Amino acid sequence: MWAEKTFGTVAVRAFVGAAFSLAALPAWTQDSDLANKVNSLPWRSAPAIGSIGSVAQISLTRDLRFLDANATSRFLELNGNPPRTNQYALAPRSLGWFAIFAFDGSGYVRDDEKLDADELLRTLRSQNESSISERKRLNLPILKLVGWAVPPHYDIETRHLEWGTRLLSEDGEPIVNYTIKLLGRSGVMNAILVSDPESLDADIREFKTGLKNFDYVSGERYSEYRQGDKVAEYGLAALIVGGAAAAAAQSGVFKGFGKLIGVAVFGGLAAIGAFFRKIFSRG
């Protein structure tokens, strides 16, 4: 279902009932006070290092900025969200995109599984189709899975798993979902990218450039696995079609700066979609 929230003089439609979602906010140029509040948050900038809990960190370069857990909670509140814990924000100064990091300490995920993109897509489509009647019953928006925007890919060197899907809303709005998961010794770092479909490719490149400076702290790196460590009960494919995604999915509504991010739950799938209008001009 859709809930309407008034923010300033603009009503915001929020996607309610999904496991993890972000929805549109009014253009920041229409609310300079709100923009000032966001920019006055204690953003850390280069050459600082942003600590992501006690398990990871990211060295800031160029114009990337970082918020700690308390500031990220406030950042989300300013966007009309309930406060959240243990989440961290990364964004360029332009706020043309941003990413939210959250760690799932579910254990070491074995990465010796070969990914079959066609089979994974068939599974996702089956989940999509089987969920439609239930979502109609619950009066939730229906999203139709079209195909891959970014085929699933696992980088054995960086231990990063990424994929993106294309969907259509009931009114024909295109949605692009992008997710990247960074494997560690004791779990998986989930990184959600909020981006405009028109600039998604460029934003992914910029985001992944920033991720080159992401690292788990000593003792938490994937390569530091030791016999006897907790091992997750799922592999790479399950991270895409459900598995830990369902367990890690968060309830409530997330809203982004003028970005409409719909999330579909196809069975256990938590899919992050991105389609939004521009609010900050890019420099």
Instruction: Give the tokens for residue 167.
Output: 């969907």
Tell me how far CA of residue 44 lies from CA of 90, 91, 100, 166, 213, in angstroms.
Answer: 10, 10, 15, 34, 15
Query: pTM of the full predicted structure?
Result: 0.73
**Radius of gyration in angstroms for the set of CA atoms belonging to the chain, rounded to a whole number:** 18
The pLDDT tens digits of the residues spanning 127-139 come to: 888 877 777 887 7
Choice among 100-114, 136-150, 232-246, 264-278 with the minimum mean pLDDT:
264-278
d(CA 89, CA 44): 10
At residue 23, the pLDDT reads 35
The pLDDT tens digits of the residues spanning 21-72 come to: 333 333 443 567 877 888 899 999 999 999 999 999 999 998 999 999 999 9
Instruction: Give the tokens for residue 114.
Output: 């070969």
Instruction: Give the tokens for residue 199.
Output: 């600039």
CA dihedral 263, 264, 269, 270 (to 10 degrees): 10
Residues of the chain with pLDDT > 70: what percent? 73
